[in-house]
Amino acid sequence: MRNMGLLNQVGGRRILVSFLLSSVMLMDAVSGIGVNWGTQATHPLPPSTVVRMLKDNGFDKVKLFDADSKILSALANSGIQVMVGIPNDMLASLANSVQVAENWVAKNVSSHVSSNGVDIRYVAVGNEPFLSTFNGTFLGTTLPALQNIQSALIKAGLSTKVKVTVPLNADVYQSASNLPSEGDFRTDIHDLMLQIVKFLSDNGGPFTVNIYPFISLYNDPNFPIDFAFFDNASSPINDNGRVYENVFDANYDTLVWALEKNGYGNLSIIVGEIGWPTDGDKNANIKSAQLFNQGFMTRVNAGKGTPMRAGPIDAYLFSLIDEDAKSIQPGNFERHWGLFYFDGQPKYQLNLNGRNGLVAAKDVRYLARKWCVMSPSASLDDPQVAPSVSYACQNADCTSLGYGTSCGNLDGRGNISYAFNSYYQINNQLNSACKFPNLSVITTTNPSAGDCQFRIMIKTDTTANAAGETRVVSQTIHLVGLGAFALMFLFTVL
């Protein structure tokens, strides 16, 4: 029998943990596909540029992780339906005060709906708050916060248009036998889940769930890889005549059974997050991401459901753009979930809503064509190499280095150059950011090699003032200790 156990991980402001693959469907027919728009990037694209990307690529729904006023303003009159998010760190204050909830709704929902023409359809209260890794931190505040936000929406006259939901990880339900028909909510939160499900049902809110088959594969090298994708699996699951050839269907129907057993079989479901990363791990690559996302989109475009629920899938791909400032506690892949690179360039071709290919962001401005690399005269044996690389990686992004990654075939000098350049670019190509002691030099020759791209950072509204705001490496670096990542790749390639 296939392993369909719960697999956990934690990551940054958003915590991504997973059962197997994200599942969910909506009872009502919903056209199109949504996407998650995360903003944990050192150099984010302007909101207006991203909204244009959404429209150019046919996304008619977007899911946000907070309620940034600039982003919401950019979505005004765009025709794009919006799910705004409330971070977990706000749940306690919202749970303890109806007034706080009313103030939040007035500022982040009412004002944008009434005056800015933003089509807000959902408020996501928290994000995966019941992960076991949170040790119960949000068990007592999620439902009261949900209730108070609903009360605030009613008072604002918006409850018929804007629905509440709680994006949950698929670990809130499980199957002891690995058969979907044995699905039920997790024992330790069973009663709380039923209270939340009842509240959602009573108020017309959907059950929102995030599922990631990639993480199942990441955590279990014996997980059958063909079962993670949407091609026919070599050993399907037969659950009393219902045949499951991919983990999405099996996971989704485990949730359906959990709802049905507890009297809520008709509750609508949304796939809050579903996707595949392209870098940072041996299984995170462009080929696999394209295979997975296209397989999922083919199902969406065909309106195909699961053995337990027929009909179109309401889902939000994860995610739109790479985020180079996300926590990598779960793994280096966390910064590479985007369909697009940080600069809005598509990673691969994908058929969305019958459209052939992804459309790149327009009018993106880049910094000068120059890079910071290891000086040809510098020695790999220099004692400053390891602490310098450690410093660069701790303060920039080296997640494309390591075994099985896009830059995994670089030699020692290449690894060092990549680390230096990442730091240099994130610090807006300041000269002082390429002054690693007797080790670095600025070049106008592109050091990229094959799939390994030494990227140039984009200009942002704050780039011009960055000189006075950016943390840069000093002429004489004094570092204590080595980062684990620097150790990982330096001493395996030198």
| 47 DSSP β-pair partners | none
Instruction: Examine the residue annotation and report whether 469 is marked as an active-site residue of this protein.
Output: no
Kind plus residue range of the DSSP H or E element containing 375: none
Instruction: Classify residue 449 by burial, with Cβ atoms within 10 Å: 0-12, 13-18, 19+.
Output: middle
Q: HSE of 80 in the Cβ direction (CA atoms, 13 Å)?
A: 32
What is the helix, strand, coil percentage profile of the chain, to 5?
35, 15, 50
The answer to whether 374 and 445 have CB atoms below 8 angstroms apart is no
The answer to whether 236 and 244 have CB atoms below 8 angstroms apart is yes
In degrees, to the nearest 5, what angle opens at C-alpha 365 toward C-alphas 397 and 54? Answer: 85
Distance of CA 422 to the CA centre of its chain: 21
* Alpha-carbon span 32 to 452, nearest angstrom: 34
CA distances for 450 relative to 150, 349, 409, 457, angstroms: 52, 19, 10, 19
Instruction: Examine the residue annotation and report whether 273 is marked as an active-site residue of this protein.
Output: yes
Of 128, 245, 323, 334, the active-site residue reads 128
The answer to whether 127 and 88 have CB atoms below 8 angstroms apart is yes
Distance of CA 172 to the CA centre of its chain: 19
* Alpha-carbon span 437 to 167, nearest angstrom: 47
Q: Check the CA dihedral 148-202-155-123 and report its sign.
A: positive
Of 102, 245, 273, 334, the active-site residue reads 273
CA distances for 150 relative to 37, 193, 229, angstroms: 24, 17, 37
- Spatial neighbors of 118 by CB under 8 A, at least 6 apart, are 72, 73, 75, 76, 82, 112
Structure tokens at 262: 């507890």
Neighbours of 450 (CB within 10 A): 9
The answer to whether 33 and 352 have CB atoms below 8 angstroms apart is yes
Distance of CA 434 to the CA centre of its chain: 31
Q: Which residue has the tokens 């475009």?
A: 301
The set of catalytic residues is: 128, 273
